[in-house]
Structure 1
């Protein structure tokens, strides 16, 4: 289940808020490793580190790092301050955080009685890679909009793993990150998607929320065995809190797997079967035969949802100007343009729903 190694830090490659990328020597040679200083302290060259090398050995794309579990000769100080929510529960790296919705939080009184997000548009997406293009579409139409990212726990659990979220937060494209479920490390912690959305609205004062899992996702090639099923549940959460759910479609022209080519079966299952509340579904006006394929594939969703045709003029240019690198499943903007345009179309539609 876990491949363990001891190693020695050779050098620090780069770092961003909450994470440090390292080169580490192990018995097999040199490898790339990732440490989260808030959990294990900040490793320095020459430090001995204890590593979990499972993802590295499996050759995972998104999570292909050896993970630093501990710096045994230089452990961090005990944490100070309030916080009683335990996330990554009952694992060796369970962490205690201060939840916005727990007693003792300065936001507890606000969230205790909160029951509505007041019509706030909530863009729901299957993959983390949709976050930047959704924001490109939003800001192309509404430059001053205030956006919160609600990160589910279907992919990475630490929000610190996402370089894109850190950069988007730095430049002000995100008012904050809310980590929900077992995910942690956001600007705001919450127990559920429901309290995460309430925190986005009432704590971060967001005009729009984007809900998606963290980097990485789990799929088995079966109808129900994929972590993006939670996208349908997020639509329900947004609706029950009197928000305006916008169901972003997962569309690809670069993925040659039949189940993901055109409109992914993930979208059809999550929105067509799991989402019981109506949502606005932005259908991009993609050109040619491929665009017709996507529109035909989306038609069954009209039984429950409102299909909204979204023009794409200007969105390619907005995507080219993205402040972070655009990538999905290893494909960049021009390698899978339809994916990024479809996500940007969701942002454009959400912008039209803001007051």
Structure 2
């Protein structure tokens, strides 16, 4: 543990447990959803940790996301998808034979669900608004940009973008191989994919210009832009890499590296533009970083480390002062953090 780690006071606001291994945590509008691998999602109050509801999708869970208003919860798994409605605690389940591994809300009125090789766009009552044509392989990730007017998806050989009610892509960003993760800068300027071949591929949306970041020892399964769109964090190695996308972008530059984990299990930027990143590893370490400091190529040390009994499998910010994390045994903790980390 570093010397700076002792200088940070962290208060545990609440702690609870769920009866499963969590695969995802998502927070919005005073609620936090903790999704278990076996198919149950626990909806908790972010202030108290009290149980609000339990929602089950038969066959297991691969993704869960609350709507921005907290009125609905979308779930996806190996055998279908579902939408839970808070107002009457009802759940609409759609059973399919399609692997469903990603969901993403675009405001309160529509959610995209990866369903096999297609993406279904649904309203809050689980009615289909439109769907994409089949991709070359199973859709692995998706994201909205242009304020929910354009949908980007990843599948084999690249990223495809769709406008409202367009079954065929209106823009394509090719790169040969299997794509696992997708990140779009909040500015809309960059689209990035994390890939099975241990690379990050990057496109400029205005002209399709692209570049590839090679040399990772492992596949890239986690990508995340911070709130400014100037910094991209990724896994792919024991170290987290943080690339600078300001100015002309990262071409010809070196990333900051963040070294604390044996294998990265979760990462999430603090909301806003503070440059604070939370990460977790399979060895049981939870770390906080001032991830945008130092020079290009610098190896950064955590601003704070916490050794836990079990590996953290998922984490999420519920505002800038509350970090929620869940471990392999189902323990869920909400930790209150100061706005400024000590140096």
TM-score, normalisation: structure 1: 0.27
Q: More helix per residue: 1 or 2? A: 1
Larger-Rg structure:
1
- Considering Cα pairs closer than 8 Å and 6+ residues apart, tell me whether 1 or 2 has the greater RCO: 1
